[in-house]
Amino acid sequence: MKVLVPIKRVVDYNVKIRVKADQTGVDLANVKMSMNPFDEIGVEEAIRLKEKGVVTEIIAVSVGPQATQETIRTALAMGADRGILVKVDHEIEALTVAKILAGIAKAEQPQLIILGKQAIDDDSNQTGQMLAQLLGWGQGTFASKVVVEGGKAEVTREVDGGLQTLRLNLPAIITTDLRLNEPRYASLPNIMKAKKKPIDEKSPADYGVDPAPLLKVLKVTEPPKRKGGSKVKTVQELVDKLKNEAGVI
């Protein structure tokens, strides 16, 4: 079966971002960009399913500017077979991405689409669920374990109270959580091989989708800074302050 793995190019999780002085957004000039960490987990899971013989082809898909090619190459170097880049030059919202991905799913007919649970830039946590609705498929979000067997996917999910296991008809949507796997690093020979793997270039119009923004961003500001940094010398002083100064115990 085919698997689609949507991946997003985001500011690397180690970067401390800065809000632009004119409040129009976050400063992305010369900032290190990487694959969204949850999407690396998605690529890894697809590769493991291929190694188990469940999956035959892995297609890495990204919606973003030309530079997103690099992110798709990273997925190809990890082990994806081919890529699709849907070119959009501005920031794009979850619903629009989901509509584009639904168009790709109709063209490619995958049995499984594995997304990240959350993009660490917009922290939306929506795209996979929206895509599932648009396609009329079942969803296993926040997955920490996936078993594909007998035309079904059994997905264990990380939920507020602990874990929950579901059984989904295929085709289905899965979104990854942190404990699903530990993504591999691409080896040098695989990085070289990835250069020859194909990446198709498409536009939202190819899928009949208008990429215009749906929400208007009025401003982006810095959160209020916390005044921390005070120290206590002893446990006794700590307890005294919590009781008599802060009054929280």
Partner 1 sequence: MAVLLIAEHDNTSLKDSTVKSMTAAKALGSPVDILVAGHNAKAVADAATKIAGAGKVLLADDAQYAQQLAENMAALVVELAGKYDAVLSPASTSGKNFMPRVAAALNVPQISEIISVDGPDTFTRPIYAGNALQQVQAGAGKKVITVRSTAFKAAELNGSAAVETIGAAKGPGVSEFVKDELSKSERPELASARVVVSGGRGMQSGENFHLLEKIADRLKAAVGASRAAVDAGFVPNDYQVGQTGKVVAPELYIAVGISGAIQHLAGMKDSKVIVAINKDEEAPIFQVADYGLVADLFKAVPELDDELKKQGY
Ligand X SMILES: Nc1ncnc2c1ncn2[C@@H]1O[C@H](COP(=O)(O)O)[C@@H](O)[C@H]1O
Paired tokens of 36: 């969204």
CB 211 within 8 A of CB 204: yes
Interface with ligand X, residue 99, by CB under 6 A: no
Please, which residue, 134 or 191, has the CB nearer to partner 1?
Answer: 134
Give the nearest distance from C-beta 87 to partner 1 in angstroms: 21
Q: Provide the β-strand partners of residue 112.
A: 3, 172
Q: Which of 4, 181, 36 is nearest to 119 (CA)?
A: 36
Paired tokens of 50: 């291929």
Interface with partner 1, residue 141, by CB under 8 A: yes
> In the stretch 36-65, what mask flags binding to partner 1 with x, by CB under 8 A?
--x---------------------------
Please, which residue, 207 or 241, has the CB nearer to ligand X?
Answer: 207
Residues in 80-99 at the binding interface with partner 1, rule: CB under 8 A: 93-95, 98
Figure out which of the listed residues 124, 133, 164, 187 binds ligand X, where binding follows CB under 6 A.
Answer: 124
Interface with ligand X, residue 127, by CB under 6 A: yes
Interface with ligand FAD, residue 37, by CB under 6 A: yes
Output the CA–CA distances (angstroms, integers) from residue 41 to 126, 184, 186, 215, 222, in the order listed.
17, 9, 13, 29, 30
Q: Provide the β-strand partners of residue 157.
A: 143, 164
Largest distance between two CA atoms of the chain: 67
What is the 8-class DSSP label of residue 93?
Answer: -
**Binding-site partner at residue 97 among ligand X, partner 1, ligand FAD, none, CB < 5 to 8 Å by type:** ligand X
Find the part of the chain contacting partner 1 (CB under 8 A) among 16-24, 80-88, 187-195, 199-207.
Answer: 16-24
